[in-house]
Amino acid sequence: MLTGCALPRHYPEVTFHANGKTIRVEPAVYCDIEGNNCAERTKPAQLKVPAGKVVQISVDGQLADGLWEAVFLYKKANGEQTTTGTGLLGKGENFTYTLALPDKGDQLQGIEVHEAAAAVLDTGQPLLRGYWAVEVTN
């Protein structure tokens, strides 16, 4: 359960759909708009995604109006682990994303959706406001 006195009572949710199952996920970590006063949830959601299957990701309006990205970890058929992502999405234009791995033999292992805060790091990258985590089983 998320707690924190400075945070809203309603946390944005992200919907993941794969292999005929849909789950709605609350953030694993969620902070105020400046990236402070963070609340955490310890257990990631789980979703079964067999190799070669796609995952539909849908964010609520609050995330879609800002900046968000999906980052995913997968194992290639040769056993090599790879992490990649979508790049920044949102600005009121992107409510959904279809995650399809490059090859049918690739096995998805995990997904995180990141929301950017109003603050920017010294590197110029947006500060992470929150993230939604899904552990993938096959």
For 94, other C-beta atoms within 10 Å of its C-beta total 17
User: Hey, is 121 helix, strand or coil?
Assistant: coil
Q: What is the pTM of this model?
A: 0.87
Tell me the per-residue pLDDT of 60-76, one tens digit each, with 9 for 90 and over.
Answer: 998 999 899 999 999 99
Note the pLDDT of residue 9: 55
In angstroms, the CA 74 to CA 113 distance is 15
- Over range 38-63, report the average pLDDT: 92
List, as one string, the DSSP characters of 38-74. -EE--SPEEEE--TT--EEEEE-HHHHHSEEEEEEEE
16 neighbors 47 (Cβ within 8 angstroms): yes
What percent of the chain clears pLDDT 90, i.e. is strictly above it?
Answer: 62
Give the range among 17-26, 36-45, 80-89 with minimum mean pLDDT: 36-45
Where along the chain do its domains lie?
14-137
Upper half-sphere CA count for residue 53 (Cβ side, 13 Å): 18
